[in-house]
Amino acid sequence: MKSELLLSRLQTYVKSLWVMFLTVGLLSSAAAQQATLTSPNGKIKIALHPVQTGTTGAWYLSVACGQQEIIPNISLGLTRNDQDFSQQLKFLKAGKPRLVQDTYTALHGKRSACTNTANEVSYSFVNPTGAALNLVVRAYNDGIAFRYEFPEKSGSYTVTDELTAYTIPNETTRWLEKWNPPNELLYSVMSDTSVQKGEWGYPGLFKSKHDSCWFLLHEADLNGSYCGTKLSNLTNAATYKLTFPNPADGNGHGASQPVIQLPWQSPWRVIILGSLADVVASTLVDDVSAPAVVKETDWIKPGIASWNYWSSNHGTMDYKIVCAFADLAAAMNWPYTLLDWEWDAMGNGGKLEDAIRYIHSKGLKPLMWYNSGGPHTSVSSTPRNRLLTHESRVKEFTWLKQLGVAGIKVDFFESEKQEMIQYYLDILKDAADFKILVYFHGCLVPRGWSRTYPHLLTYEAVRGAEWYNYDPAFTTAAPIHNTILPFTRNVVGAMDYTPVTFTNSQFPHITSYGHELALSIVFESGMLHMADRPDGYEQLPDAAKSFLKNVPVAWDDTRLLDGYPGKNMILARRKGSSWYIGAISAALGEETKAIPFNFLPEGVKYRLTLITDGAHDKVLSTRYEVVDKSSTIDVKLLRRGGFVAEIHPL
């Protein structure tokens, strides 16, 4: 009897062992089929999978937000001129997970104290020849980032294609801008049957069918070892593949395919992910980019500049106009004035040196425009060709420092080929040596360079107010366009829209004065060029003028209070202990918005100055109140209206 009992127990034990071994085997098999990385807060998951089509050796990622899979397939791989790294890849191992913790101070942007944390894993592969490819994946609380690595120690190769491609469910709503070299077209909104095929510029905004989950596709930490890319769904409407610059870009100058030196890392492929408020507040593009290489930064001063081009396209040729805009900057307490194109042809009472002396006499710092020049652009506007080589830049920057010029605006790049990326960075490096501020115009969308080179205060790369000079259709497009930009282009870096105009340029605008005033807060730019003529600001009521004299351009915090792309936007930004709110609407009728102040700290009362639309779109109304964290105020907006609020602790 005892022996039977022992036999029975032995059989049970063996069966248990078998079940345990079977379970472990299944788990091991599952692990081989899928490796998952989760963000520190547990909300975002990214998984690596093999493509289940025989033994192709192809791999893809999937991305989930909460319990919802929002990007089911991100295809992976590269091809080089010598071999393929997209098919027949053998998975070797997943590296030991590590916690990435980073803190840094930004001199300008949407947040000064930046803290980011991510979980990172590096996946190792080899192709049939034994050549290695690593995929480094990070999961942040506000998105994911991944990049490729060739870890070998030497070798020079051409990357012939990048196979990274995002497959997006058809029901996902998307806001995309058709690819164009200066990134100055309008965004289109699409979903379901309205999804168009084409080539699209960064960043692209997507809203999953789960309303709480939005994501923005971009790239970051682009350097001279690669070219810029764009998104193309020409082959398959549902799949956005990364593609290299068109051969015709930049007048056909330069190679479209990048040449790399091993060891090598690609730029980060970035997906900002979460609620719409998470997307707007994210600094992920800067977070993954290289830390600052400029160590002495006390000369880097964000600020507002007066600008004469919008009201007078050839204004810098006229000494008297230049002086009038210097007077405007001085009267408005703005530290800068920009001498736009043709300053080398200035006349009507004075030359460049006379204008510089006059600007300095007002306690201002001059900025000067340059044509990037070279074979990549056919634009003949002058001065041209002065920045093309290191030697010519040293000569020009030496002269600018002698003149007392604080910064440069460089225009007409017209390409994102590797050679042009190197040119951008060479300008930044040489400008840093001479302590010269930089503003890129007619350029690429930000890729995180302002973290690495904090003297890069802003970029254009937007259809901004200067289009009131060029296209009558911009009059009706602007209200909707303005309410899309804070959710798209301006998320990824500084954007000089050249805003806040109350008079008209070649073509009128139909946004209200309240809407225009609010653009100074809604649009973030470390160098903000106020575009209107002097009398456009002189005729404002005292409260509005006072507001524009003191509004910051570099922020300590940014929070979305309300909004939806193409409809409206209410944004709160903090500078020190004070808060500023900007609100704009594209609505065709009046609307009332309830503004909660629950973002304020407990136990502090604030003095509120509220400047809103008045009786009609060219009138402003001001009121003053005391508010605290428990307060809510109703504000009426006219059609295509807006308002600003300035909030200081008592």
Q: Identify whether the C-beta of residue 239 lies closer than 8 Å to the C-beta of residue 166.
A: yes
Residues in CB range of 72: below 8 A, 6 or more apart? 62, 167, 169
Query: What's the average model confidence in pLDDT over 271-289?
Result: 98
The 10 Å Cβ neighbour count of residue 618 is 11
Average pLDDT, stretch 93-103?
96
SS3 content of the chain, % helix, strand, coil (to 5): 25, 35, 40
To the nearest whole percent, how much of the chain has pLDDT over 70? 94
419 alpha-carbon distance from chain centroid: 22
Integer angstrom CA distances of residue 94 from 15, 26, 117, 120: 32, 18, 20, 10
Which segments of 171-258 are extended strands (E)? 173-178, 187-190, 199-207, 214-220, 230-232, 239-243
Yes or no: say if 648 and 578 are a contact pair by the CB < 8 Å rule.
Answer: yes
**Which amino acid type is present at position 424?**
Y
Please say whether the beta carbons of 577 and 497 come within 8 A.
no
pLDDT band at 486 (very low <50, low <70, confident <90, very high): very high
- Quote the CA–CA distance of 481 and 484 in Å, as a whole number: 5
User: How does DSSP assign 202-215, residue by residue?
Assistant: EEEEEE-SSTT-EE
Calculate mean pLDDT across residues 339-367.
98
Task: Encode pLDDT of 472-485 as tens digits.
Answer: 999 999 999 999 99
pLDDT in tens, 157-202: 999 999 999 999 999 999 999 999 999 999 999 998 999 999 999 9
- pTM flag (> 0.85): yes
d(CA 222, CA 43): 28
Q: What is the mean pLDDT of the chain?
A: 94
301-461 fold: TIM Barrel (3.20.20)
Give the model's pLDDT for residue 433.
98
Mean pLDDT of 418-438: 98
Helices 513-522 and 542-550, axial angle in degrees (round to 10): 20
CA distance 43 to 21: 32
Asked if the peptide bond before residue 383 counts as cis, ω within 30 degrees of 0, the response is: yes
Return the pLDDT at 13.
36
Rounded to an integer, what distance in angstroms lies between the CA atom of residue 350 and that of residue 355? Answer: 7
Least confident window among 21-25, 379-383, 510-514, 618-622: 21-25
The strand pairing partners of 459, in sequence order, are 440
pLDDT tens readout for residues 543-575: 999 999 999 999 999 999 999 999 999 999 999
Residue 19 pLDDT exceeds 80: no
Q: How far apart are CA 534 and CA 548, in angstroms?
A: 13
Answer yes or no: is pLDDT of 533 > 90: yes
Q: Determine how β-strand 78-80 pairs with β-strand 84-85.
A: antiparallel
Confidence tier at 23 by pLDDT (50, 70, 90): very low
Task: Indicate the angle between helix axes 352-361 and 319-331, nearest 10 degrees.
Answer: 20
Among the ranges given (15-19, 147-151, 533-537, 572-576), the one the predictor scored with the smallest mean pLDDT: 15-19
CA–CA distance, 224 with 463 (Å, rounded to integer): 27
Find the angle CA(437)-CA(304)-CA(306) to the nearest 5 degrees.
100
Burial class (CB in 10 A: 0-12, 13-18, 19+), 255: middle
Report pLDDT for 56: 79
- The domain 467-526+537-650 having CATH identifier 3.40.50.11140: the answer here is no
Domains 35-287 and 467-526+537-650 share a fold: no
514: pLDDT strictly greater than 70: yes
405-425 CB burial, b ≥16 within 10 A, e <16: bbbbbbbbbbbbbbbbbebbb
Q: Looking at the domain 35-287, which fold is it?
A: Beta-galactosidase; Chain A, domain 5 (2.70.98)
Residue extents of the structural domains in the chain:
35-287, 301-461, 467-526+537-650
Please tell me the predicted confidence (pLDDT) of residue 516.
Answer: 98
The residue ranking higher by pLDDT, 20 or 68, is 68
Please enumerate, as own/partner, the contacts of 544-550 that have beta carbons within 8 Å and a separation of 24 or more: 544/513, 544/517, 544/611, 544/620, 544/622, 545/332, 547/517, 547/520, 547/609, 547/611, 547/644, 547/646, 548/332, 548/500, 548/517, 548/520, 549/332, 549/333, 549/334, 550/333
pLDDT digits 0-9 by tens, 441-468 = 999 999 999 999 999 999 999 999 999 9
Q: What is the pLDDT of residues 25-75, one digit of tens each?
A: 222 333 345 699 999 999 999 999 999 876 678 999 999 999 899 999 999
- Cα 520 from chain centroid (whole Å): 17
pLDDT greater than 80 at residue 5: no
- Tell me what pLDDT residue 581 has: 98
